[in-house]
């Protein structure tokens, strides 16, 4: 299970972006921040061309 961001690091990130949150909202988001970071890492992973659906999709020719 991914660990959440450190509280000072998270507070600095929220302050830097000027996001107005209550303490309860901050703690709720910080609690899942490890999962968010892990998800972002997986999304940014380069994939082979065959993983892209547009590469494998061949539309049928349209006849007028």
> Is this prediction's pTM over 0.75?
no
- Structural domain includes residue 26: yes
- Structural domain includes residue 63: no
Domain boundaries, position 49: 7-56
- Structural domain includes residue 23: yes
- DSSP code for 58: -
Per-residue pLDDT tens digits for 36-51: 999 988 887 777 776 6
Helix pair angle (23-43, 7-17), 10° resolution: 90
C-beta of residue 33 within 8 angstroms of C-beta of residue 10: yes
Confidence of residue 1 (pLDDT cuts 50, 70, 90): confident
- Structural domain includes residue 62: no
- Structural domain includes residue 2: no
- How many separate domains does the chain show? 1
- Structural domain includes residue 45: yes
C-beta of residue 5 within 8 angstroms of C-beta of residue 13: yes
- Structural domain includes residue 43: yes
DSSP output for 2-23: PPPPPHHHHHHHHHHHT----H
């Amino acid at each position: 299970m991914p660990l959440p961001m450190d509280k000072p690091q998270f507070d600095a990130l929220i302050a830097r972006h000027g996001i107005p949150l209550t303490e309860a909202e901050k703690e709720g988001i910080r609690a899942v921040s490890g999962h968010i970071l892990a998800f972002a890492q997986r999304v940014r992973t380069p994939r082979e061309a065959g993983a892209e659906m547009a590469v494998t999709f061949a539309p049928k020719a349209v006849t007028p």
